[in-house]
A and B are shown apart, each in its own frame.
Chain A
Amino acid sequence: GESVGLHLPTLSVQEGDNSIINCAYSNSASDYFIWYKQESGKGPQFIIDIRSNMDKRQGQRVTVLLNKTVKHLSLQIAATQPGDSAVYFCAENMPPGNQFYFGTGTSLTVIP
């Protein structure tokens, strides 16, 4: 699994609506996944993680779903706020060690 294309998908949502960001990962051996949020000029910020023995995990306003059958990951953000505007990346880890491969990223814009 390696990286990333040249085109950054975009998603625009109204403030207060729910957002769903999708990610297809590449390696069936990946055992751990993280969603990151990256704002302009900053490093990626950890949002939520999930291990391959789970199919759903919830955090504060965020839920991650994992479908290993089709190698698909999604991030759901409830009641999206303007501060959620950023680029969101999914990252898959291939064991052993910490060797994360990142998706292309999705640019989320929240319309007030």
Chain B
Amino acid sequence: KAGVTQTPRYLIKTRGQQVTLSCSPISGHRSVSWYQQTPGQGLQFLFEYFSETQRNKGNFPGRFSGRQFSNSRSEMNVSTLELGDSALYLCASSFATGSNEQFFGPGTRLTVL
């Protein structure tokens, strides 16, 4: 069974731009969560989507948003990029929501110049 895939793997943007990252969960998994990983803050929860609905949201500004499609694929969007948004963005999938095994993709490395 294929694992979680994320595209693109690397991205370079400039301040003020917006970016969209994509995540395809493991086949059959319906929950997708997004995390931001930085050296200073570690791994921080952004949001979770299940059955096309946002179930949980972390403590990030409204510039960070996401959505999930009927095939469970998910996208996250960051608008008006700031230098501090440079990070590894990780997507994780679970079969269902609610304290389930969660498996990560390789991440998208975003650099904001």
- Asked if B31 is at the interface (CB within 8 A of a chain A CB), the reply is yes
Q: Mark B56-88, 1 if CB is under 8 A from A, else 0.
A: 101100000000000000000000000000000
Q: Which residue of B lies closest to A44 (CB)?
A: B104
A46–B44 CB distance below 8 A: no
A45–B99 CB distance below 8 A: no
- Asked if A36 is at the interface (CB within 8 A of a chain B CB), the reply is yes
A43–B106 CB distance below 8 A: yes
Q: Which residues of B contact A25 (CB under 8 A)?
A: none
B102–A43 CB distance below 8 A: no
User: How many residues of chain B are within 8 Å of chain A by beta carbon?
Assistant: 30
A34–B101 CB distance below 8 A: yes
A99–B42 CB distance below 8 A: no
B48–A3 CB distance below 8 A: no
A43–B43 CB distance below 8 A: no
Q: Which residues of B contact A42 (CB under 8 A)?
A: 106-107
A45 to B100, CA, bound (A): 15
B42, B55, B101, B105: the one contacting A105 at CB < 8 Å is B42
A103 to B44, CA, bound (A): 10
Binding site for B on A (CB under 8 A): 2-6, 31-32, 34, 36, 42-46, 49, 51, 89, 91, 93, 95-105
